[in-house]
A and B are shown apart, each in its own frame.
Chain A
Amino acid sequence: MSAMKAIKFSRSPLLSERLPPWRQRFVLVLLLGSFAVLIGRAVYLQGFKNEFLGDKGRARFERVIDISATRGRITDRHGDVLAVSTPVRSIWAIPEDAQLAPAQARNLASLLDMDVREVNRKLASEGEFTYVKRQLPPDVADKVTALKLPGIHQKNEYRRYYPAGEVTAHVLGFTGAEDNGQEGIELAFNGQLAGKPGSRRVIKDRRGNVVEDVESIRPPQEGKDIVLAVDSKVQYLAYSHLKQALEEHRAKAGGIIVIDSRTGEVLALANLPTYNPNNRTKLAGAQLRNRALTDTFEPGSTLKPFTAALALEQGKVRFDTPIQTAPGKMTIGSATISDAHAHGTLTVAQVIQKSSNIGSAKLALSMKPEEMWAMFDSLGFGAPLKLGFPGEVGGRLRPAKTWRPIEQATMAYGHGISVTLIQLARAYQAFARDGDLLPLSLSRVDVPPASGKPVFSPQTAREVRAMLEMAVQPGGTAPKAQIPGYRVAGKTGTAHKLESGVYANKYVASFVGFAPVSDPRLIVAVMIDEPSNGKHFGGDVAAPVFAQVMSGSLRALGVASDAPLKPLVVANAAPVREEM
């Protein structure tokens, strides 16, 4: 190499060599071409695939998370909670992943309050998903999390609790899976109670913490709270006294309704048999039935006051017009109706007080069927009240042109027509108020309507009120309905039950009344199905329930008394037997 002396670059002979000019252009084109490819690619990525790539990028750090919404609470009129949803957690497992050591399985079982064998059996089951235990309280679920078991996961759920249990079961109904209303208020107001879960987009860091809110996709809608008209104190009184009466008279079923006659609010509604909505494992159809709304019965004598009211309204009779009811039997066409006790001549007021079938039938036969039908119709019989309750029925009220005279006569005292207890209670508003009817409301009414749909004139309503007050006084059919301290008015009913078209030797005892008579505030309707412990008259079976519930409720609501406190019942005076 030493022979070859180093040559400086500037003297390099190569420089003087002429290169072909295409080589220079070739390199230039090559470079420009490469640039063009790069620019093209950039334009393609930035311009055409921007969105796709942007999404891909965001997917690396953005997450959509769900925001749960809770179902609204149901409270009574004073804000006492009757139904509330609270979060619980369910433990589920992927059996394949959940390979637990015996000690781990034991720990888990003891936390879940389960048998180890049961836990192992569940974890050994086929399939990719199995619930180990559902609806656990959150604090227990946190302890399960702390065990850090493989393949064991948790899911947030809500569970609905009903603190009043069976007392409010039929009013509230219950929710099924997914917290959706299945019965009662839960179903009727499901649209308002149910919340709509929302979601939002966030940026999460490596550790899973949310570091930035990107956007709210759908804001969650919390379920609205529902304030019912129900007064839990009145509800409890109604429920417990009905229950006592059912046990005492060994009755099959029963229902009770309390209505505030000034607002049309339903303060209490109870049915028996009932169920515990918090534990619905052994539910039978009979327990679920909200009888007061879904079962019709022939109301019997409780309809008589309406017949009398219509006769008064038409000016056919007056309060004291005499009606001959002797000899206690009356033949219409081929059928004979009778009073159980012949009464002789009674005034219209006494027909109601002593509950005479003949007297009522005679009043009815003086009217046109269309007029009676129109009255029953405007009282709300024959059509559901449309409270929104599931399964509400309207009862049976046949069109007037199909009525035969005998049917018109029996309808005057409540046979051949069927009603629900709530319809009956509402119709009595016409007497408790001055002849008008307000729509019933299950939710609290803050501004009651001043007047409702007029059915009778105020004068008629006042006169019937006086007759109904006579019915609970000595000489009437229901002295047991009296309450110390308040003036009470009401009417008993005792009806044979229809079984496959024939009147059986079973009864429905009922009582509908209101108090205080000087300024009626509450209407209570009681119905007891098949009392079978010797007594079956409305005055003996249903009236005492009415008295207990009414006196307790009036006191609970602080209604001023309008009568002296000394008891009015003459101790051993036998009440007049009512008719059936």
Chain B
Amino acid sequence: MNLARINLLLLLVAVVCALSVVSSNHRARKLFTELEATQKHMRDLEVEWGQLQLEQSTVAAHVRVEKLARDRLGMKVPAPGQIVAIEPAK
């Protein structure tokens, strides 16, 4: 009589345990997928960063900047007499 009650209780505990294993496994997998997605995002961002650096270097290339400064903005290198050196304040 008493034994049967304990068995029932243990059965219940076993079922709860089994279900929690299932749910925690499920959660682990969901988190893992999330981790994967985040890592992929990280790699994508790194690639993008590399491409942006490349773009920046290309756009800021000295050849291009000088050409733009000369042709579009009409700038030129100052003649030696036009340069005034400013001493740092002492």
- The smallest beta-carbon distance between B41 and chain A, in angstroms, is 15
How many chain A residues touch B (CB < 8 A): the figure is 30
| A81–B54 CB distance below 8 A | yes
A151 CA / B86 CA spacing, docked (Å): 69
Complex CA gap A386/B75 in Å reads: 43
Q: What residues of chain B lie closer than 8 Å to A213, measured between beta carbons?
A: 32
B-chain residues with CB within 8 Å of residue A561 when the two chains form the complex: 85
> Which residues on B sit within 8 Å (CB–CB) of A209?
33
The answer to whether B83 touches A84, judged by C-beta atoms less than 8 angstroms apart, is: no
Q: Which residue of A lies closest to B47 (CB)?
A: A87
B80 and A565 form a contact (CB under 8 A): yes
Q: Does B20 contact A (CB under 8 A)?
A: no
- Please tell me which one of the listed residues B28, B53, B66, B84 contacts residue A84 in the complex, with CB atoms under 8 A apart: B53
A565-B36 in contact (CB<8A): no
Bound-state Cα–Cα, A211 to B26, Å: 10
B38 close to A (CB within 8 Å): no
**Nearest chain-B residue to A233 (Cβ)?**
B62
Q: Is the CB of A84 within 8 A of B85?
A: no
Given contacts A211-B29, A236-B62, A236-B63, contact A565 B83 (CB under 8 A): yes
| A497–B43 CA distance with the chains assembled, in angstroms | 55
B23 interface contact, C-beta 8 A: no
Instruction: Report B-chain residues with C-beta under 8 Å of the C-beta of A240.
Output: 62-63, 66
Known: A85-B50, A86-B47. A164 touches B85 (CB 8 A): no
Q: Judge whether A163 is part of the interface by a CB distance below 8 angstroms.
A: yes
A211, B54: Cβ atoms closer than 8 Å: no
A485, B80: Cβ atoms closer than 8 Å = yes
Q: Which residues of chain A in 79-98 are interfacial with respect to chain B, using CB atoms and an 8 Å cutoff?
A: 80-82, 84-87
Those of B48-90 within 8 Å (CB) of chain A:
50-51, 53-54, 56-58, 60-63, 66, 80-81, 83-85
Distance in angstroms from A385 CB to nearest chain B CB is: 28
Contacting B at CB under 8 A, from A247-276, are: none
What is the predominant secondary structure among interface residues of chain A facing chain B? mixed
Cα A345 to Cα B29 with chains together (Å) = 93
Q: A496 contacts the other chain (Cβ, under 8 Å)?
A: no
Shortest C-beta distance, A159 to chain B (Å), equals 10
Chain A residues with CB below 8 A from B66, complex form: 236, 240
Q: Is A189 an interface residue (CB 8 A)?
A: no
| A161-B54 in contact (CB<8A) | yes
What residue in chain B is nearest A161 (Cβ atoms)? B54
Q: Give every chain B residue within 8 A of A212 (Cβ-Cβ).
A: 28-29, 32
Cα A357 to Cα B13 in complex, Å, equals 105
Cα A210 to Cα B60 in complex, Å, equals 41
Q: Does A484 contact B (CB under 8 A)?
A: yes
Chain A contacts with B in 515-538, Cβ cutoff 8 A: none
Residues in B neighbouring A86, C-beta threshold 8 A: 47, 50-51, 54
- Which of A163, A210, A485 has a CB less than 8 Å from the CB of B61? A163
Q: How far is the CA of A163 from the CA of B81 in the complex (A)?
A: 35
State in angstroms the CA–CA spacing of A567 and B82 once bound together. 11
CB distance B50 to A73 under 8 Å? yes
Residue of B nearest to A76 (CB): B57
Q: Which residue of chain B has the shortest Cβ distance to A166 in the bound complex? A: B63
Q: A163, A210, A212, A240: which has the most chain B beta carbons within 10 Å?
A: A163
Residues in A with CB closer than 8 Å to B47 are 86-87, 138
Shortest CB-to-CB span from A438 to chain B, Å, is: 28
Closest A residue by C-beta to B28: A212
Residue A566 CB within 8 A of the other chain = yes
A85, closest chain B residue (CB): B50
Please indicate which of the listed interface residues A240, A565, A566, A567 has the most CB atoms of chain B within 10 Å of its own CB.
A565
Most buried by B among A82, A209, A233: A209
A211–B61 touching, CB < 8 Å? no
Measured CA separation A567–B81 after assembly (Å): 8
Given A73-B50, A212-B32: A565 in contact with B85 (beta carbons within 8 A): yes
Closest to B65 in A: A236
**Can you name the residue of chain A whose Cβ is closest to the Cβ of B62?**
A236
Q: Given the complex of chains A and B, what is the CA–CA distance between A163 and B36 in angstroms?
A: 32
| Contact status B80-A484, CB under 8 Å | yes
CB of A301 within 8 A of chain B?
Answer: no
List CB contacts (< 8 Å) of B10-49 with chain A: 28-29, 32-33, 36, 46-47
Cβ–Cβ < 8 Å partners of B54 in chain A? 81, 84, 86, 161, 163
Shortest C-beta distance, B3 to chain A (Å), equals 31
Contact with B along A159-179 (1 / 0, CB 8 A): 001011101000000000000
Q: Bound state CA distance, A87 and B43, in angstroms?
A: 11
Kindly identify which residue among A80, A233, A565 contacts B57, using a CB–CB cutoff of 8 Å.
Answer: A80
Q: Is the CB of A163 within 8 A of B50?
A: no
Known contacts A210-B36, A211-B29, A211-B33; decide if A84 and B62 are in contact (CB<8 Å): no
Write 18 A-B pairs (CB below 8 A) sorted by A numbering: A73-B53, A81-B53, A81-B54, A163-B54, A163-B58, A164-B62, A165-B63, A212-B28, A212-B29, A212-B32, A240-B63, A485-B83, A485-B85, A561-B85, A565-B81, A565-B85, A566-B80, A566-B81
Which 8 A-B residue pairings sit nearest by Cβ, starting from the closest? Answer: A163-B57, A484-B80, A236-B62, A163-B58, A81-B53, A81-B57, A211-B29, A84-B50
Q: Which residues of A contact B (CB under 8 A)?
A: 70, 73, 80-82, 84-87, 138, 161, 163-165, 167, 209-213, 232-233, 236, 240, 484-485, 561, 565-567
Which positions in B face A, CB cutoff 8 Å? 28-29, 32-33, 36, 46-47, 50-51, 53-54, 56-58, 60-63, 66, 80-81, 83-85
Given contacts A81-B56, A87-B47, A240-B62, 6 further A-B contacts (CB under 8 A): A84-B50, A86-B54, A164-B61, A213-B32, A233-B62, A240-B66
